[in-house]
Amino acid sequence: MIGNKYNKQKGQVLLITVMLLATILTVVLSLSFKSTGETQITKLEEESQKALAAAEAGIEAALKQGAIANISSLPGLESFTGSVNIETTKNNAFISPLLQKDEQYTFYLSQPGSNAPEQTDFTNLISQYNNNALTVCSTSNSIALELTLIKAGSSPSTKRFSINPPTTTIIQNAEDANQLGACPSGENFSYKHQLSAEDIGSNNLILIVRIINGTGKVGFTAPSGINLPLQGKSIISEAKSKTGVNKKVSLFQSYPQIPSDFFVTSF
C-alpha cells in the first residue's frame, strides 16, 4: 500500500520537471529570437545609412568631376554599386527656390561655354533664348517683381520691367500683371505676366528677378514646344549596398546667382 502511493508521487515530479523545462526553453528561445531580430534591424539601418552616405558622396564627387559611371570607383565605396548621373534634359518650365523679400533670382537665358553642362565657363555665356515669349509667375499676391534683362554685346546692356500683382500698387507706375501665358505645374501660382517675344528680343544672357515686398517662388514658362535653357546641375546619385539596400538622392545646384545685396545701388 505505501509503495503504490510512493510510485504515484514519482510520476508527478517528472511532469512538473518537464513543464518547467518547457517553460524555460520557450523563454530562452524567444529571447534568443528577439536578439537576433534586433541585430538584423540594426544591421539594416546601418546598411541604409551607409548607402545614403554613399549616394551623397556620389553627389559631392559629381559636383567636382561630373558624371560617375560606377560609384564603386570612388575611394571607400568599393562595396557599393550604383552610378551618378547629371541630367541634361531641358524643360519647358522652371520653378525657383523660395525667395525672401529683396532677394533675387538669376534666371539664365544662355548657357556657359560650349552648351555642354560640364562646361562651366560662366565668363563666356552664349545666348540661347531669344525672340520667344516668356511667362513669369509668382506664388504670392503680395509680391511685386523687378525684372532686369542683361543682353550681350560689345557693351552689354540692360532692359528693365516692373510688375505689380493684379489690382495692387506696390510699385507706383509699374505695369499690372497681364495674366497671359501658363505657369509651371507643381506649385500654386497667384498671378502671371507674359513678356512678349518683342520684350525679350535677342542677345539675352540672364534675367534677374527681384522680389519686392514679400516672400514666394517664381516660375518661368516658355511657349509650348520650346524649352528653357538649363538653370543648373541636376545630379541623381544611386548607391546599392551588398546586402541590397538601395538609396537614391538628387541635388539641384543652380548656376551662379548674383546676390541682390551686391547688385542694386544702395546707400
Partner 1 sequence: MRKSVIFSLILLVIFFIISNKPIYALYGAGPNCKVVAVGNCQNGIWSATCQGCECDIIDSSACQSANKSSCLSCTFSCSVRNEPAGQCNNPPTTGICQPCGAPPPPPPRTPTSTPTPTPTPYPTVVIYGLLKEYSEAMCYNNISSDNLSITIEPSFPNGIIHNCGITPPTEKTKSSYRCTIIFNNQNAAPTPIQDFFLKASANEYQSAYWTDNNVCNSIANNKISVNVAVENPPTAFNKDIFFQIASWIKLKNASFISSANFINIIPLNISPYDNDDTTNRYFIIGETGLVAANGLNMGTANISSKKWLTTGYSKQTILSTTNFLEYVRSRKKYQEITDITQIKEGINLYQGDLTININNQVNFNDKKTLLIVTGTTTIDIDNFQPNNGSVAIIASNINFTNDTKSAKGIFIGQTINTGTTTNDGLKIIGNLIANAGFFNGRKWENYFKPSLFIVFEPKIYLDLLPYLSISKYDWQQIQ
| The only residue of 126, 133, 170, 197 in contact with partner 1, by rule CB under 8 A | 170
Beta bridge partners of 81: 240
| The only residue of 4, 9, 89, 172 in contact with partner 1, by rule CB under 8 A | 172
C-alpha distance from residue 56 to each of 60, 151, 226 (Å): 6, 37, 33
- Residue 162 touches partner 1, criterion: CB under 8 A: yes
Give the DSSP letter of residue 157: E
User: Residue 55 CB, nearest distance to partner 1 (Å)?
Assistant: 8
- Residue 36 touches partner 1, criterion: CB under 8 A: no
Q: Which helix (H) or strand (E) holds 115?
A: none
Backbone angles phi, psi at 23, to 5 degrees: -60, -45
- Residue 191 touches partner 1, criterion: CB under 8 A: no
- Shorter beta-carbon distance to partner 1: residue 23 or 185: 185
Q: How many CB atoms lie within 10 A of CB 255?
A: 19
Backbone angles phi, psi at 134, to 5 degrees: -145, 125
Q: Which helix (H) or strand (E) holds 45?
A: helix 2-65
- Give the range of 23-31, 67-75, 121-129, 176-184 binding partner 1 by CB under 8 A: 121-129
Q: What part of residues 231-260 is at the interface with partner 1 (CB under 8 A)?
A: 232, 236, 238, 246-260
- Residue 265 touches partner 1, criterion: CB under 8 A: yes
CA-closest candidate to residue 201, choices 126, 153, 132: 132
The rounded Cα 90 to chain-centroid distance in angstroms is 16
Angle at 205 between CA 187 and CA 164, to 5 degrees: 45
- Give the range of 23-31, 142-150, 180-188, 218-226 binding partner 1 by CB under 8 A: 142-150
- Give the range of 9-17, 65-73, 81-89, 206-214 binding partner 1 by CB under 8 A: 206-214
Q: Which helix (H) or strand (E) holds 226?
A: none
User: Residue 208 CB, nearest distance to partner 1 (Å)?
Assistant: 9
- Shorter beta-carbon distance to partner 1: residue 67 or 223: 67
- Residue 224 touches partner 1, criterion: CB under 8 A: no
> Cell match 554685346: residue?
153
User: Residue 49 CB, nearest distance to partner 1 (Å)?
Assistant: 12
Binding site for partner 1 (CB under 8 A): 52, 97, 100-103, 106, 120, 122-123, 125, 144, 146, 148, 150, 155-160, 162, 170-174, 205, 210, 212-213, 232, 236, 238, 246-267
